Every structure is written in C-alpha cells, then in structure tokens.
Structure 1
Amino acid sequence: MAQDLFTVWILIPSLIFLARILDVSLGTIKIIFIAKGYRKSAPILAFFEMLLWLYTITKIMENLTNPINYVAYALGFSAGTYAGIILEGKLAVGTEIIQVITKKDATNLVQYLKDHGYRVTHVTACGEEGPVNILFTVVKRKKISQVVGIIRRFNPKSFYTIEDIEYVSERPAPFEYTREDQINDMFKGLRKSK
C-alpha cells in the first residue's frame, strides 16, 4: 500500500516531470537545427521528442484522477522551456555577421580584428550626417561577445547589428578547430546543401 502511494504520488509525477523537461528541450534543439540548416537530423530528434511525449501522456492517461500528474506535466513543460533556452545559449550553434557603422576612424579596429585572425571587409560610405566607415565580419556565434567587446573598446559609440547566417561557404576566421567544429563536422552529411 505504501509503495503504491509512493508510486502514484511521487514516482510517476517525477517521471512525467523529467520526461517533459527532456522532450521540450529536444524540441528546442530540433527547431535550432532546422533553423541552422541541419534539416536531416531534425527528424531523429523529433522521434525521441515524440517518444518521450507519448510516455508522459500514457502515464497521465493511466491515472486521470491524480491531479499531481497534471501539475508535473505543466511544470515539466515550463522547466523544459527554460532548460531549452539555457541549452540553446550554451550550444550557440551557427555563424553570425556583424555590421559596424561608425563615424570615427576604424583603422585601428580593422587592424586589431585582422591581427587576431578575423576577416574584415571595410568600406567608406556616406551616412545621414556625412562620411561613415562600415565594417563586416563573419564570426562563429560563440565569438559574438568577444568581438562586440573589441568593437566597444575601439569605437564605443559605433552602431552595430548582428544577423544570423544560414549558410557560409567556408569556415569563418579565426581558424581554431573547436569541439563545436567537431560536432558540426559529424552532422555535415546531414546538413542541407546549397
């Protein structure tokens, strides 16, 4: 009897909660992979996501009169959403383009970025209030905060935008082969080609 109470009120709700966290987190990763061009790996993640979802629904349907299961399901969804957001930030998969517009001379910034292995395209243009310098650099998403820090150090009043890139024809500089590169290379065959 005590074991049945433990199973019904603690074990099953805990399993529902954990399964929901996992399935929602997998759903988040699946969506990121689709957005980043890893479209062939998304069905694999979707399979496991749905398998976990079916498990949780089955457990709820087995005991419709236990309100703790509903609470565990909802809390698992919320926690899974939060875990997915954190996981997405940690994975930081993909490549971004940073565009910098500054009225200030950008020679030192361009040189510093180049000296540290970043590729930079620099053009002079005419802005609303006169001449401006425009810089473009393509970087791995994990390097964004580092590059933004460099930009702010050299040109604190510059205007910059960061945009997601779905496809890059070659690996962005600096050319360090990281764990992320190893993972990306594993999925390269699964990635949509251009």
Structure 2
Amino acid sequence: MLQALIIFIAQLLFVPVLTMRTIMMVKGMKEKAAAMGMLEGVIYVVALGIVFSDLSNYLNMAAYALGFGVGVYIGQIIEQKLAIGFVSIEVNIMNKNEELITHLRNEGFSVSTSEVEGMNNARRYRLDCTARRDREPEFIQIVSNYEPSAFIVSYEPRNFKGGYITKAMKKNKKSVPKV
C-alpha cells in the first residue's frame, strides 16, 4: 500500500512537471525546459522502477494510472494559472466604439482598428490587440461590457517584433511575468 501511495504522489508531481517542460520548450525557454526535463526523468525512473519491481501488484499499476490522470488535470490548472506568454485577440463589432477603444488603451492594451467588410457588404469594425495571456479574461470582460454581441477570437502568437506591446514590455519589465 505504501508503494502505491508513493507511485501516486510521484505521478502527481511527474505529469505537471512534464506539462511545464513541454510549455517551456514551446515557448523557447531552453534552460528551464532542460532543468524540468531532468526533474521529470528522476521522478519517472523512481515511479516506474517501483511498478516494474513487482508486475503482479495491480494496485501499483492502478496507482500509476490514476496518478497520471489526476496529474494531467493538475498540470492543466497550473498552466492556466501561470498563463505564460502573450495572446493576440481579434474583436469584430458592428460600429466603431471609441469609448471601448479608449478604455482598452487606458487599461494598457494595444489596440489597432480597421473597417472591414462582412457578409453582404456589411461594414464592421475590427480591433486587433495583443496582451499578456494572464490579462485575456480581463480584456474579454471589458469588451463584453461595451459590446455584448462582439465576436472575439484569440490565439497565441509564436513571436512578434515592434509595435506598442514591445515598447510597453521594455518600459514595464517588472510587469512581465518571468518563468
């Protein structure tokens, strides 16, 4: 029973570490990803070593599988809380809303506007914005307060150069989360 508990706890540590290593690799954080990889390897070898030491112990195998599943869930929660990186957000609204645009800019969001053509030649306005991922819910709430029927789509840019967000990052290095 103690071995099963050790395996379960090891998996609760292993999978979130695996999740963080993967995120750091994707974000280009080579050194941190390598450090997480070493930690991941140690946990993995210990847990699997215990499981393989007695393949007739189904409780250990079940603890491994259950710990892995719960670890995936915990890893996702950690990733959402850390919200590493940036997000590009595109907002489509019916009319140009100067109050919304001003409010977003006053809150520190970059906003570029353009008039676009929708279906049946309908005129729409598009806001293109970039923000830290941890501020995405705040951004969406502000837009929803001003434009409840706005179409909002977001995605993570792989990299970017220049523009308002780059200047703001240089000015406010303290406000950019480091991982």
Equivalent of 1:159 in 123, 130, 151? 151
The yes-or-no answer on 1:177 pairing with 2:168 is no
SS in 2 for 1:165: coil
Q: Look up the equivalent residue of 1:144 and give its one-letter code.
A: E
The yes-or-no answer on 1:36 pairing with 2:27 is yes
SS in 2 for 1:138: strand
After TM superposition, the structure 1 = structure 2 runs for residues 33-72 of structure 1, keeping only pairs within 5 Å, are 33-72=24-63
Cα distance in 2 for partners of 1:171, 1:50 equals: 39
Report which structure shows greater RCO (CA 8 Å, sep ≥6): 1
User: Where does structure 1 differ by over 4 angstroms across 4 or more consecutive aligned residues?
Assistant: 171-176
Equivalent of 2:109 in 118, 131, 144? 118
Could you tell me which residue of structure 1 aligns to residue 66 of structure 2?
75
Cα distance in 2 for partners of 1:87, 1:98 equals: 22
Cα distance in 1 for partners of 2:140, 2:172 equals: 19
- The 3 A distance-change label for structure 1 pair 171 and 81 is farther
Could you tell me which residue of structure 1 aligns to residue 92 of structure 2?
101
Report how many residues are paired.
173
More displaced stretch, 90-99 vs 123-132: 123-132
Could you tell me which residue of structure 1 aligns to residue 124 of structure 2?
132
Structure with higher Rg: it is 1
TM-score relative to the length of structure 2: 0.88
TM-score relative to the length of structure 1: 0.81
Map Cα deviations across residues 31-75 of structure 1 (whole Å, 9 max, x no partner): 111222223422221121111111011111222222211111111
Could you tell me which residue of structure 2 aligns to residue 146 of structure 1?
138
- The 3 A distance-change label for structure 1 pair 153 and 51 is same
Q: Look up the equivalent residue of 1:145 and give its one-letter code.
A: P
